Amino acid sequence: MRYAPGVPMALNPEQQQAVEHGPGPMLVLAGAGSGKTTVITQRIARLIERGTPPRAILAMTFTNKAANEMLERIVRLAGHRAAEATIGTFHAFGLKFLRIESKALGIPDGRFAIFDQADQAGVVREILRTVRGAADRRYDGWAILARISRARNEFVVPDAYEPRLGDEDGEVTKIVYPRYMKALRAFRAFDFDDLVCETVTLLESRDDVRERWQERYRYVLVDEYQDTNHAQLRLVRLLGGGHSNVCVVGDDDQAIYGWRGADVANILEFDQHFAGTRVVKLERNYRSCRAVLEVANGVIQASEGKRHDKRLVATRPDGQKVQMVVGENGEAEAQFIGNESRRLLDEGLKPRDIAVLFRSATQAEAIETAFKGQQIPYRLVGGTQFYEKKEVKDLIAYLRAALNPRDDISLRRIINYPARGIGDVAVERLAQHALANSKPLSWAVERAPTIPGLSPHAANGCKALHAVIEIASRRFAASESPCSIAKGIVSGVRLETDIAAGSGSNAVAARRKGNLDAFLAMLERNDDKLRGVDALGGFLQMMTLQSETDSDDPGNVATLTTIHGSKGLEFDTVFVAGLEEGLLPHARTLDAKASDVEPQDLGEERRLFYVAVTRAMNRLYLCRARTRQARGGPKGAARTPSRFLADVPPEWIESRAVTGFQPASMKSMLDGLAGVLAAIEKA
């Protein structure tokens, strides 16, 4: 039952129930490959067809990619007026809300920065420098941020934060947390957590605001509801509290983000939050052959924790049995995956049809080596995103500093880049002078010549920097072309010259300059939409919300990714690597001494395996090694098979053992030989 996106399809009875449901709360339990996106889009189209104004519909997702796909389908189904519906991520909705309600937040001009994770980490690093003993201990800033994020989404205020007994990182978090929040507000900035938490706080504290937004959105829909955290749950309840026209779609069997605060209880207890909930189960799977589904069902049915009772039902033929592969060691496992992938490619499969999934990114290196050896094009999910490229982020920092004089993080990033004589000592002197006067760093930079103890060289550097930012700021206020302003900054600070000098090779320099040119071209394409401080400021805010999953189609390449990174994707052929105790389930969940292990973590590891299995359409390989060298451990340490493999139905399995070197296909060997001969002839 494959179908073209945006084209009405024949719905099965359960899908029809969900689409035709009228007012009132509804929980759609959508198993993997059951057509949940179709149900959501056709339900929205049906609401519009019945007379609901598109502007009265709010649909929230977890990725911009999912939101864009949803909107495109709805427009095809219901016409261009459907584009008036609000469809986006939780964070995008929060940003929209905070911009509209900025006066109620004490920001009358509506101008504020959105700090991404790198910006957040920068704030934490600066705070840690002031914490006694932190520099010696070298605390993990990311781990502290994760703790702060968890506390904020549980609405634990800084004063109420209490770490567990003996939790040293928690003790430092208790010190950093209030300073971090104070710093954000001083910078007039919000981070990702703020976008939802501040929205919830305002909706809860202001009856007039809450009633206005409840009346604005008469129907609220949420995709991937199993991935919501406590703050997102409160947001959904607040928005839908006035009418209860709330439809959530999800699958508790695919709840795999507990480590970042998601709470599977939200979907398990939805009917307790919204009285009179109608439950619709989508169990017919249109993605995978029966062999894959039987393995998936066997694994998930063995769950010990609470779950909604459901079972995937195949609508496709049995297919070939699932391959259970045991390698002599980790290298043999990786080599098998590379060789088998090459064999399948030689038989006509395309690289984009192949995915290799693993629990930990540390497993990727051996698989990359195998793919390189077989000359298989691939992408390793988890690389640096476009907007996170240094040269792009540097230019964005200049733009943000010109738009928001209180954005100290952006200013610190570029204060001495390219080098202009403002060293670390000078930066600290500027920062202390600003702090003593309760002013932002930009204030001190402007007054650098008057600051005692600042060298003439540093003062001149500050003067040059201030001139560039001031010119850009005036041009923004005059609604000049953002692209022209950005080019003026690039030229004014000689950014391209620094890229050429600091890249190490012409190829790297060309690639970095190409990234800069691509960003400038994007500004130019949207010139008419981005003129003015508010327009460009809003664009840079939205840009911060982009995620890796929102990237364009990488082309005809195989995918190597963690299982978490594979969520929502599907492939003809899937290899799941490292199915061993300590990898899946992860060692952290098996460590009784770990302070942050929760009883439900092992259940989440099982669901993670289930997600990996259900990515496969036609071929599934479950791979493990008898021995594997762990990082920092002994070579060839014996490995125990993952406990989850014991729940795989044996009648759907075909076992294979691989030892040492595995020859590649005849075609790939001949191709390799031909390449060698050609190289000899050229020499």
One of 36, 147, 359, 400 is an active-site residue; which one?
36
Q: Catalytic one among 41, 42, 61, 254?
A: 254
Nearest to residue 326, comparing CAs of 673, 588, 660? Answer: 660
- Neighbour-count burial of 524, counting CB atoms closer than 10 A to its CB (0-12 exposed, 13-18 middle, 19+ buried): middle
Pull the structure tokens for residue 271: 């009917």
CB atoms under 10 Å from CB of 598, counted, come to 12
* Integer Rg of the chain from CA: 27
Asked if residue 407 lies in contact with residue 434, where contact means CB atoms within 8 angstroms, the answer is no
- The residues that bridge with 620 in the sheet, in sequence order, are 574
In the set 101, 224, 394, 604, the catalytic residue is 224
Q: How many helices (H) and strands (E) does the chain have?
A: 29, 18
**Active-site position among 111, 359, 429, 615:** 615
Q: For this structure, is 37 an active site residue?
A: yes
Closest CA to 123 of 198, 52, 179: 179
Residues forming beta bridges with residue 431, ordered by sequence position: none
224 is catalytic: yes
What span, in angstroms and rounded, lies between the C-alpha atoms of 43 and 140? Answer: 45
DSSP-based three-state secondary structure for 185 = helix
Q: Please tell me which residue in 101, 198, 223, 604 is annotated as part of the active site.
A: 223
CB burial readout 352-380, b (16+ within 10 A) else e: bbbbbbbbbeebbebbbebbebbebebbb
SS3 487: helix
254 catalytic? Reply is yes
Single out the residue of 361, 355, 274, 284 nearest to residue 38, CA to CA.
284
Catalytic, 223? Answer yes
Burial of 463-487, coded b for 16+ CB within 10 Å and e otherwise, reads eebeebbeebbebbeeebbbbebbe
Q: How far apart are CA 455 and CA 365, in angstroms?
A: 48
**Choice among 15, 37, 120, 335 that is catalytic:** 37
Residues marked as catalytic: 36-37, 223-224, 254, 615
